[in-house]
């Protein structure tokens, strides 16, 4: 039996607000918007999308799962994402790393990496281990 990753689900207080933020970050669009679910993706036939589901309990600890974004230009992308509503956060990453840690408007951490050529060319060998 074959299996594929369909959605990554993010719990949120503000379904349309957080969906719009991530659409802006990823240059995706809202594919489906219901009272208890908003789905975004590059298009409706893409392999994987993000589904936002409502919750009432607040986020209280660092994420156990996060996105790593690999832009063409890290510095420019960080500034663009900050302008969309993200903020810089410190999760203990230190200064000498090849990524910038940000949080979306609801505090979900994610990283903006230096440009990458492949999934296994993940980090500069001289940088300490991190995300």
Alpha-carbon distance of 64 to 60, in angstroms, equals: 12
Torsion of CA 30, 76, 116, 92, to 10 degrees: -90
Phi, psi torsion values for 7, nearest 5 degrees: -130, 150
Q: What percent of the chain has pLDDT over 90?
A: 69
pTM of the entire structure? 0.85
The predicted-structure confidence for 92-120, as pLDDT tens digits, reads as follows 888 888 899 999 999 999 999 998 878 77
């Amino acid at each position: 039996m074959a299996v594929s990753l369909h959605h990554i689900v993010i719990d949120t207080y503000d379904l349309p607000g957080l969906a719009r933020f991530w659409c802006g970050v990823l240059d995706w669009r809202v594919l489906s918007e219901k009272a208890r679910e908003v789905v975004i993706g590059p298009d409706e036939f893409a392999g994987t999308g993000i589904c936002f589901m409502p919750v009432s309990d607040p986020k209280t600890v660092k994420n156990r799962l996060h996105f790593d974004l690999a832009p063409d230009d890290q510095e420019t992308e960080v500034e663009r994402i900050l302008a969309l509503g993200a903020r810089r956060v410190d999760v203990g990453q230190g200064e000498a790393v090849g990524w910038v840690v940000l949080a979306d408007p609801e505090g979900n951490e994610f990283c903006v990496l230096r440009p990458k050529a492949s999934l296994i060319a993940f980090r500069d060998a001289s940088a300490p281990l991190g995300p």
